[in-house]
Amino acid sequence: MSADSERSRRVVFDVDLRRRFEAFSLRMDGARRRREGPGRSSHFGAGEEWAGFRPYRPGDDPRQLDWNLLARLDRPFTRITRREVSEQWVLLVDRSASMGVGEPGKLQASAELAAALVGLGLRRGARVTLLASGRPERRLSRRTDLADGLAWLEALTAGGDEGFGPGLRSEPVRRAGRVVAIGDLADASARALMELSRGGREVLLAQVLAPHELDPPLGPVRWVCPETGEALELAVDSNLRAEYERELNRELEGWRARCAVHGVRYLATSSARPFEDVALELFGGAP
């Protein structure tokens, strides 16, 4: 295994990243207060402090629709209260062997996104549970728990073939009001992921792919299977790349279509993209 691939299997949060996690949470809190504005809390009952938005669900009170977001994003979002947000969030992170590739690594990018959401959830008063195959779950409930969450994520390494594994059927997921699954979706069970949306649960799915998986280079390429270590030498020409892109687009469109039917928020993204941009798009601009 090369030094680059070994590095891609691990997660490292340097000082700059940790500052960005904190800045992201503060930025979102500031945006929430600006959106709330004077008198916004009057939309709710006593003690029902406004906390943010979530995608509209059938049966929601139409008076809580945010018309500005509807006009800007062409998707309906409902204002939610802090009491509603203060339910359990579950973050499922795929740490299977296929996540240990890319530059930046897919596992690193997934952990960065998860770290940002941990900070955001704790700041919003949510109880956050972190899950990954082969690792003990970590439950967080106070802002001061952020350091524990970052340490848990930083200890992840890519390996095995379980993907989201038994975490999809775990007790924290059954109790959660919001589930975010982050990974490359290689061999993931679409049916199991879609079933998470039952019972009004909000489900968000981030498919993280390496830059070379989204845009393979032309010329000689050596592909190595992360699970078995088997290598394949290829000469990628324009025809082969076009065929690969067709297959990739078919796969991504399949995920988009399934998620749309089940009301699951879906985003396919590159591991090279800043986690701030990914989080904002995944949550429709208003996490």
What is the band of 143 on the pLDDT scale with cuts at 50, 70, 90? confident
Q: Taking residues 135-150, what's their average pLDDT? A: 94
Q: Taking residues 261-273, what's their average pLDDT? A: 96
Statement: residue 203 has pLDDT above 90: yes
Task: Please report the pLDDT score of residue 130 as a whole number.
Answer: 98
Contacts (Cβ under 8 Å, ≥6 apart) of 161: 96, 97, 187, 227
Q: Higher confidence at residue 242 or residue 200?
A: 242
Statement: residue 116 has pLDDT above 90: yes
Q: Taking residues 86-100, what's their average pLDDT? A: 90
Statement: residue 49 has pLDDT above 70: no
Give the percent of the chain with pLDDT over 90.
53
Q: Taking residues 182-203, what's their average pLDDT? A: 91
Task: Please report the pLDDT score of residue 66 as a whole number.
Answer: 84
What is the band of 51 on the pLDDT scale with cuts at 50, 70, 90? low
What is the band of 39 on the pLDDT scale with cuts at 50, 70, 90? very low
What is the band of 283 on the pLDDT scale with cuts at 50, 70, 90? confident
What is the band of 41 on the pLDDT scale with cuts at 50, 70, 90? very low
Q: Is the separation of the CB atoms in 188 and 171 below 8 Å? A: no
Task: Please report the pLDDT score of residue 76 as a whole number.
Answer: 87
Q: Taking residues 32-58, what's their average pLDDT? A: 56
Lowest mean pLDDT among 13-17, 26-30, 197-201: 26-30
